[in-house]
Amino acid sequence: MNCEICGSTIYGSPRRIILEGTRLLVCGRCSGLGEPDLKVEEKQKPSAPRPLGTPKPLASLTSRLPKEIEELEITDDFPRMIKKAREKKKMSQEDLARTINERLSIIQKIELGKMTPDLRLTHALEHALRVKLLIPRKEPEMPEERVGHSEMTLGDVIQYKKK
């Protein structure tokens, strides 16, 4: 992971700061350039232990995406795969819609590529058609020649006053 200000590789845990209204992940050297992001620090504080059987507060559940969404993405050719698998099972679009308890118009839009199914619908389609639609997410690779400090970074652009 690289610092969003100077571009150097961050060793250890990155720091979150707010600089001119923008939240940034930075290295230790650049962390003094902005104000610490207090919202992140509040989330990291350990909470008091809860008695067994009490549910987690709703805010902590919605603040982070499920692991499945962070690590998986739907294939690019999902419309073709769904249509091919449906036809292989000799199902009509109406049969598929009834099987996964969804509207026919949704199935039609998905097969035409006009709509991307959400995670629940993707799982239902995978189960009903016995196809693999979710694949591990790949990070875009940077060419080796561009990794160095030769390019301009945010730190090169920002001019700040020393107190």
Distance spanning both ends of the chain, measured CA to CA: 30
**What pLDDT score was predicted for residue 29?**
85
Closest CA to 96 of 134, 125, 120: 125
Q: How far apart are CA 31 and CA 137, in angstroms?
A: 29
Can you name the residues that pair with 135 across neighbouring β-strands?
73
Question: Exposed/middle/buried for 74, CB within 10 Å: 0-12, 13-18, 19+?
Answer: middle
Residue 112 pLDDT grade (very low, low, confident, very high; cuts 50, 70, 90): very high
pLDDT in tens, 12-55: 788 888 888 888 888 888 888 888 887 754 545 555 565 555 55
For residue 84 the two structure tokens come to 């091919």
Architecture of domain 79-136: Orthogonal Bundle (1.10)
pLDDT in tens, 132-153: 988 887 766 666 655 555 677 7
* 154 has pLDDT over 50: yes
Average of per-residue pLDDT values in the chain: 78
pTM of the full structure: 0.47
Closest CA to 104 of 112, 127, 134, 133: 112
Please report, for the chain, the start and end positions of each structural domain, with discontinuous segments joined by +.
1-44, 79-136
Find the range with the poorest average confidence among 86-90, 149-153, 155-159: 149-153
Q: How far apart are CA 76 and CA 91, in angstroms?
A: 23
For residue 41 the two structure tokens come to 């620090």
* 80 has pLDDT over 90: yes
Residue 111 pLDDT grade (very low, low, confident, very high; cuts 50, 70, 90): very high
Residue 67 pLDDT grade (very low, low, confident, very high; cuts 50, 70, 90): low
